[in-house]
A and B are shown apart, each in its own frame.
Chain A
Amino acid sequence: MRTKASETESIEIRLLVEAIFQRYHYDFRSYSMASLKRRLNQALLHFHCESLSHLQDRVLHDATMLPQLLGYLTVQVSEMFRDPLFFKALREQVIPHLRTYPSLKVWIAGCSAGEELYSLAILFREEGLDARTIFYATDINPDALQKAEAGVYALDRLPQFTTNHQLSGGKSSLSDYYTAAYGNAIFDKSLRRQAVFSDHSLVSDAVFAEVHLVCCRNVLIYFERTLQDRAVGLFQDSLVRKGFLGLGSKESLHFSAHHRAFTEFVREQRIYQKCG
């Protein structure tokens, strides 16, 4: 039997996300509860609120709190070439298929601060496909999109990025793509020449383009099953026949309503191909 304290907290969370939805139209109502609760408890400390009801009161009346609160409601943990073997599999097994198209569109759904976008832009340049590719980098968090567009990362993250890039089968040196200044690595703006940054919600928005590859890694784990199904449905509708979907290393379509629409293309790297 759950305790009254935990029942009360669940009620407060549901009311808070409902308030945020009605007031600001950000919809977290179908996010996974357990992780949402952790992040909201961190937000309580940050905003010096005694309870989630108190936080709700404040955020309803003070719109300036929203951007920071969004930083807690969305998870922004990523790195460049995260799970290098995923990128290696993309390079070795997916790129040969993509090469056959005269023009390409790639959707990075839930791009956060852009680590995945720059990883793909570098990979596509190394493979000589960058000039014919448009990258759509979408997220619901305006701060994250701004960071993605800036392409600036703390220099102390670069050793990890560099190792990942090498393990992914990188054909160049990562240092070719950034300039170090004031403790930051500033990535070459030519990498985002072909990128479109846009606010897009997997909860409420529709398909906006026909794409050949969707990368949506470690985003779906924060959604409840129904919302996962909606998101994968969008990817399915957006992908060309035989298009590719890349998920996080522990995500799968195993429990998805759409699993029959895809085949496992590189099973261990969670790369799926839409059926023809």
Chain B
Amino acid sequence: MTEPIANQTIQAVAIGASAGAVDALLQVLSSLPKDYPLPLLIVVHLSPESESPLASLLADRCTIAVKEAEDKEPIRPGTAYLAPPNYHLLVEPELCLSLSNEEPVLFSRPSIDVMFESAADAYGDALAGVVLTGGNADGAQGLQKIENAGGLALVQHPASAAYPEMPRAALAACPTARTLHLAELGTFLKEELPQLNRR
């Protein structure tokens, strides 16, 4: 299904997290430098109130830029975009972000699956998907779509997850996904992923 591309490098990282997300994201994102060459697209399950402190909390403690995603915003490297509460986050083929208030998927809006799937469509095999801690199965199907499009599937090792259900569900859907402990994940994203040659 996937076109073989020589020296294909990863162009974006899609991350999904639910229960336990704040600590996990802090640990991963704070290890990335300001000039990190990739954009990060992040869905966290949040309460549906229209304002969330998460973006500013992360921005305060990370050197990369962290912001809530805006509709039709162009995707830039070195920036982490968080889905706003109560909206799905999607990636358009021309690599800008879209919001949607369509129905929740698996009781979630934003849904990790929805973002992963649209990101897989837009980036194809140039995408890495990461499923972190969480107490449900969101993200599993989306990670499979990323894998099917030739992208790289990464899962937080369930043993290092505050809530292992979501990583476990992701591994059940993508048994060959690479598992990393939380402590390794930041280093991997920082040092290996941008240079990764997956020929």
Residues of A near any B CB (own CB < 8 A): 1-6, 9-10, 32-35, 37-39, 75, 77, 83, 85, 218, 220-222, 224-225, 228, 248-252, 254-255, 268
B149 touches A250 (CB 8 A): no
Interface flags, B1-23, vs A, CB<8A=1, else 0? 11101001000000000000000
Residues of B within 8 A of A32 (CB): 72, 90, 92, 98, 100
A1 touches B87 (CB 8 A): no
Best-buried of B5, B71, B87 by chain A (most CB within 10 Å): B71
Docked Cα-Cα span, A224 to B71, in Å, equals 10
CB of B114 within 8 Å of the partner chain: yes
Say yes or no: A250-B91 contact (C-beta < 8 A), given A2-B122, A38-B102, A77-B102: no
Say yes or no: A221-B93 contact (C-beta < 8 A), given A3-B3, A251-B71: no
A34 touches B122 (CB 8 A): yes
Residues of B within 8 A of A251 (CB): 71, 99
**Listed A/B pairs (18) with beta-carbon separation below 8 Å:** A1-B2, A1-B124, A1-B150, A2-B124, A3-B1, A3-B2, A5-B1, A6-B149, A9-B121, A10-B93, A34-B91, A34-B93, A75-B100, A77-B101, A77-B102, A218-B101, A251-B71, A252-B70
List the 8 closest pairs (A to B, CB-CB), nearest first.
A34-B90, A2-B124, A34-B118, A35-B100, A6-B121, A249-B50, A32-B98, A221-B99
Q: Count contacts on B: residues with CB < 8 A to the other chain.
A: 38
A250 touches B3 (CB 8 A): no
Within 8 A of A (CB), among B117-148: 117-118, 120-126, 148
Docked Cα-Cα span, A255 to B74, in Å, equals 10
Interchain nearest-CB distance for B176 vs A (Å): 18
Contact of B125 among A3, A35, A250 (CB under 8 A): A3
A-B contact count (CB 8 A): 100
Interchain nearest-CB distance for A255 vs B (Å): 5
Measured CB to CB, the nearest residue on chain A to B121 is: A6
Contact of B126 among A1, A222, A250 (CB under 8 A): A1
Docked Cα-Cα span, A35 to B50, in Å, equals 21
Interchain nearest-CB distance for A133 vs B (Å): 27
Say yes or no: A35-B8 contact (C-beta < 8 A), given A6-B121, A221-B71: no
Measured CB to CB, the nearest residue on chain A to B100 is: A35
Docked Cα-Cα span, A204 to B79, in Å, equals 36
Residues of A within 8 A of B192 (CB): none
Knowing that A35-B98, A37-B118 touch, tell me 5 more A-B residue pairs with CB under 8 angstroms: A5-B1, A32-B100, A38-B90, A220-B71, A248-B101
CB of B158 within 8 Å of the partner chain: no
Interchain nearest-CB distance for A235 vs B (Å): 16
Residues of A within 8 A of B121 (CB): 2, 6, 9, 34, 37
A75 touches B92 (CB 8 A): no
CB of B84 within 8 Å of the partner chain: yes
Measured CB to CB, the nearest residue on chain B to A82 is: B101
Contact of A4 among B3, B51, B100 (CB under 8 A): B3
Measured CB to CB, the nearest residue on chain A to B98 is: A32
Interchain nearest-CB distance for B3 vs A (Å): 6
Docked Cα-Cα span, A39 to B72, in Å, equals 19
A34 touches B92 (CB 8 A): yes
CB of B73 within 8 Å of the partner chain: yes
